Amino acid sequence: MQLCNIKSFKHLSQFKDIRDFNNQIEQWMVDVKSKFTKSELVG
């Protein structure tokens, strides 16, 4: 396996930037948070 620079995967991202990514994760957590145990949320 060859090592790659993480920036070479940028074209595969569905997000415009880190702020967009964080907003999507927050929204996802609002929707599914009740399905996780307390320990899973901490992890």
- Report the pLDDT value the prediction gives residue 39, as an integer from 0 to 100: 93
Read off the pLDDT of residues 1-43 as tens digits, 9 standing for 90 and up: 677 887 888 888 888 889 999 999 999 988 898 898 999 888 8
**Rounded to an integer, what distance in angstroms lies between the CA atom of residue 9 and that of residue 30?**
28
- Quote the pTM value: 0.56
Q: Got the DSSP string for 1-43?
A: -----GGGGGGG-S-SSHHHHHHHHHHHHHHHGGGS-HHHHH-
